């Protein structure tokens, strides 16, 4: 199944799914990261979601997900003025909008490095299906 077919299926699922069955989020930036080992072999791809922190003047990781299908890759949406990622996150259909997007190819895991700036326990996660968004502890 090609990327176009996967995207079409995902978009059809959104159109056929009642609005209450979609978890919506907005972040400041989304990153598609391609992680490689020391020999340059691909290890995994991930999508990292960031919120801007005005106090630290930097982006902090909010959440991340492994990139399992091409349909998860954020796409540019002029209608929504930014970038949109839509995918099934377990049993939850999730739609995340971002103001900006970047793509990186690294031999380190940016999400792990970012834990030095904002520990995982202090991050805001993505919203739950019921619309309740966890806040920072």
Q: Work out the mean pLDDT of the chain and round it to a whole number.
A: 86
Read off the pLDDT band of 46 (50, 70, 90): very high
Please report, for the chain, the start and end positions of each structural domain, with discontinuous segments joined by +: 3-122
What percent of the chain is modeled with pLDDT above 70? 79
| Residues 66 and 72: beta-carbon distance below 8 Å | no
With 50 as the cut, is the pLDDT of residue 17 above it?
no
| Residues 111 and 61: beta-carbon distance below 8 Å | yes
Q: What is the pTM of this model?
A: 0.80
Identify the DSSP state of 132: P
Instruction: Output the pLDDT for position 136.
Output: 45
Q: Distances from the Cα of 79 to the Cαs of 14, 31, 34, 47, 76, in angstroms?
A: 16, 20, 28, 22, 9
| Residues 127 and 25: beta-carbon distance below 8 Å | yes
DSSP string, 95-124: EEEEEEEEEEEESS-HHHHHTTTS-GGGS-
What percent of the chain is modeled with pLDDT above 90? 69
Instruction: Output the pLDDT for position 74.
Output: 97
Pairing type for strands 92-106 and 82-89 reads: antiparallel
Average pLDDT over residues 100-124: 95
| Residues 123 and 48: beta-carbon distance below 8 Å | no
With 90 as the cut, is the pLDDT of residue 130 above it?
no
d(CA 96, CA 63): 11
Read off the pLDDT band of 127 (50, 70, 90): confident
């Amino acid at each position: 199944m090609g990327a176009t077919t996967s995207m079409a299926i995902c978009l059809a699922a959104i159109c056929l799914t009642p609005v209450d069955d979609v978890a919506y989020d907005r972040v400041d930036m989304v990153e598609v990261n391609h992680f490689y080992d020391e020999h340059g072999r691909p290890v995994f791809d991930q999508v990292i979601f960031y919120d801007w922190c005005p106090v630290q003047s930097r982006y902090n990781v909010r959440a991340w997900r492994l990139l399992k299908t091409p349909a998860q890759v954020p796409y540019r949406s002029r209608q929504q003025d930014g970038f949109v990622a839509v995918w099934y996150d377990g049993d939850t259909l999730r739609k995340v909008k971002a103001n900006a997007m970047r793509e990186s190819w690294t031999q380190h895991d940016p999400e792990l490095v970012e834990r030095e700036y904002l520990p995982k326990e202090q991050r805001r996660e993505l919203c739950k299906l019921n619309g309740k968004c966890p806040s920072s502890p």
